[in-house]
Amino acid sequence: MAAINIVTVENPDEKTEITLKIMHALPAWFSPPEDIDIKAVIHREFPFIAAYDGDEPIGFVALKIHNQYTADIYNIGVLGHYHRRGIGRGLLIAAERYCADCGYMYLSVKTLDASAEYEPYERTRTFYYKMGFVPLEVFTTFWDEENPCLFLVKRLRGDGIGASADAADVDTDVDAADVDTDTTNADAATDAYATYSPAFWRALDQLVTASKIVIDRPKGSRHPKYPSIVYPVDYGYLENTSSMDGGGIDIWQGTAGGCGVDAIICTVDSLKRDSEIKILINCSEEEKQLVLEAHNNSEYMKGILIHKNKSV
C-alpha cells in the first residue's frame, strides 16, 4: 500500500522552497505573487509540516504560535491535482497532533467569509467545518472590506506518545514490574481468546487493508514537545478512522514485510486519564520491543504488548 508521507520540516530553506512551489501553483487561493514571496520568508521561522508523494512535496501547513494556549493555521495548501484525496485532512490532523503534543489548547484559522461569495473559499470553509472548526466572528476590516475575514477555532485534545511525559521522566529501561505477567484465571482467559480473538484480528486486518496509512513521524524523528524522545519505528495513523482521542487510529509500521497486523499495544495514561490501542504493522520482534519501550518511558504512560499468535 503506497503511503503519502507527512513530516515535520525543520530546514528553513526547504520551508521556503515548498511554500513557493505550492502557493504559486494555487493562484485561486494565494495572490498576489509578492505576498507569496513574503510568506515564504515568514514560514522559515514557523512550525512547518509537509506532505510528500515520494520525494515531491505536494502540500504543507505552516503554524503561527500565538501564546501558550493557541496556535494558528497561518497557511495551508495542497496542489490542485491532489485535492479530494485526503491530503489536506492528513496535514491538518498532523498539525493538530503537533499542537496537542506541545500543550496548546486551541487551533485557530482565518479565511474568507461567505459574504464575499467566492467559490474556491466555499470549499475551504466546508473543509474547516468538516474538520470540527466553529466560527467565532467576522472581521470586516482585518484585510479589507472586499475580503471580510472569518475567524474560526477548534479545541484540541491530547494525542501522541509521551504527551504527558516530562523530559526528566524519560527512561529507556523497561521494568519488569511494568509488564502485566499475572496468570490468574489463565484457563478462562484462554477460552475467551479462543472464542473471540480470531474475529478481532480479522477485523483489524480489514480495517488496515481498507485504510490509507499516513506516516507523520518517521523513524528517527523527535517528539515535537519532548525532543529527547526519538521514535524508534515509523509512527502514524490510519486515515479516515477515529480513535479515543478523536484523531486517527495510531499505528507503528516496521520493516518486516509480510507480517501484516500481528500485534497491538494497549496503553494507559494516568495523567491524561485515557487509554488507547496502537496497531503494529510489519514489525519484527526487535521493533515490537522498541515500540513497547517507547510506551513505557514515563511514570504516567504504560503499555502492554499483545501478540496475535499468543492470543489464539
Considering only residues 211 and 170, tell me which one the structure prediction assigns the higher pLDDT.
211
182 in the same domain as 151: no
Q: Which amino acid is at 76?
A: I
Whether the pLDDT of residue 104 is over 50: the answer is yes
Residue 177 lies in a domain: yes
Average pLDDT over residues 5-34: 94
Average pLDDT over residues 192-214: 74
* Residue 239 CB contacts under 8 Å (≥ 6 apart), including other chains: 86, 89, 90, 211, 212, 213, 214, 248
Average pLDDT over residues 104-126: 93
Residue 160 lies in a domain: no
Residue 220 lies in a domain: yes
275 in the same domain as 135: no
Residue 298 lies in a domain: yes
184 in the same domain as 101: no
- What percent of the chain has a predicted confidence (pLDDT) above 90? 56
Considering only residues 177 and 72, tell me which one the structure prediction assigns the higher pLDDT.
72
132 in the same domain as 200: no
Average pLDDT over residues 15-36: 94
Instruction: Using the Cα atoms of residue 179, residue 180, residue 186 and residue 192 in order, give the sign of their dihedral.
Output: negative
Last-in-domain residue among 96, 127, 155: 155
Whether the pLDDT of residue 260 is over 50: the answer is yes
Q: Which burial class, exposed, middle or buried, applies to 90 when counting CB atoms under 10 A from its CB (0-12, 13-18, 19+)? A: buried
pLDDT value at residue 127 = 93
Considering only residues 270 and 185, tell me which one the structure prediction assigns the higher pLDDT.
270
269 in the same domain as 226: yes
Whether the pLDDT of residue 140 is over 70: the answer is yes
pLDDT value at residue 262 = 83
Residue 166 pLDDT class (50, 70, 90 cuts): very low
180 in the same domain as 301: yes
303 in the same domain as 177: yes
Average pLDDT over residues 135-154: 93
* Residue 87 CB contacts under 8 Å (≥ 6 apart), including other chains: 4, 51, 58, 59, 78
Whether the pLDDT of residue 220 is over 70: the answer is yes
204 in the same domain as 137: no
Last-in-domain residue among 155, 177, 206: 155
Whether the pLDDT of residue 125 is over 80: the answer is yes
Residue 161 lies in a domain: no
297 in the same domain as 181: yes
Residue 310 pLDDT class (50, 70, 90 cuts): low
Residue 237's domain is classified under what CATH number? Answer: 3.90.80
Average pLDDT over residues 216-235: 88
| pTM for the model | 0.55
For 263-296, the pLDDT digits (tens) are 999 999 887 788 889 999 999 989 999 999 999 8
Residue 21's domain is classified under what CATH number? Answer: 3.40.630.30
Average pLDDT over residues 6-24: 95
pLDDT value at residue 121 = 93
The parent domain of residue 254 ranges over: 167-310
pLDDT value at residue 301 = 85
Whether the pLDDT of residue 178 is over 50: the answer is no
- Is residue 32 reached through a cis peptide bond, with omega within 30 degrees of 0 on the bond before it? yes
**Comparing 63-72, 246-255, 265-274, which segment has the lowest mean pLDDT?**
265-274
Considering only residues 184 and 20, tell me which one the structure prediction assigns the higher pLDDT.
20
Strand-pairing partners, residue 303, are: 267
Residue whose cell numbers read 503511503: 3
Residue 2 pLDDT class (50, 70, 90 cuts): low
210 in the same domain as 69: no
108 in the same domain as 217: no
Domain count, the chain: 2
pLDDT value at residue 179 = 29
56-65 vs 48-53, strand pairing mode: antiparallel
Q: Which burial class, exposed, middle or buried, applies to 45 when counting CB atoms under 10 A from its CB (0-12, 13-18, 19+)? A: exposed
pLDDT value at residue 227 = 83
114 in the same domain as 15: yes
pLDDT value at residue 42 = 95
Whether the pLDDT of residue 16 is over 60: the answer is yes
Last-in-domain residue among 113, 133, 155: 155
Whether the pLDDT of residue 221 is over 80: the answer is yes
Is-contact 214 87, C-beta < 8 A? Answer: no
